[in-house]
Amino acid sequence: HLATSLPLPSERDHLRPRIDLIVFMIDIKSKYSLKNVEASLAYVDASFFLGKVCFLVTGVGRVNACSIETNAVCKLGEAYCSPVLFCELELEGIRVATAQRLLRMLQICAGHIPGVSALSFVSLMRSSDD
Which positions touch other proteins (CB under 8 A)?
29-33, 35, 63-69, 71-72
Of 67 and 120, nearer to other proteins (C-beta) is: 67
Distance CA 109, CA 67 (A): 32
Of 33 and 82, nearer to other proteins (C-beta) is: 33
Q: Is 81 helix (H, G, I), strand (E, B) or coil?
A: coil
Shortest spacing between CB 29 and other proteins, in angstroms: 6
The tally of CA atoms less than 13 A away on the side-chain side of residue 38 is 11
CA distances from residue 125 to 15, 65, 115, 118, 121 in whole angstroms, order as listed: 34, 28, 18, 12, 6
Of 51 and 59, nearer to other proteins (C-beta) is: 59
Shortest spacing between CB 73 and other proteins, in angstroms: 12
Shortest spacing between CB 34 and other proteins, in angstroms: 8
Shortest spacing between CB 66 and other proteins, in angstroms: 4
Residue 50 and residue 89 in contact, taking contact as beta carbons nearer than 8 Å: no
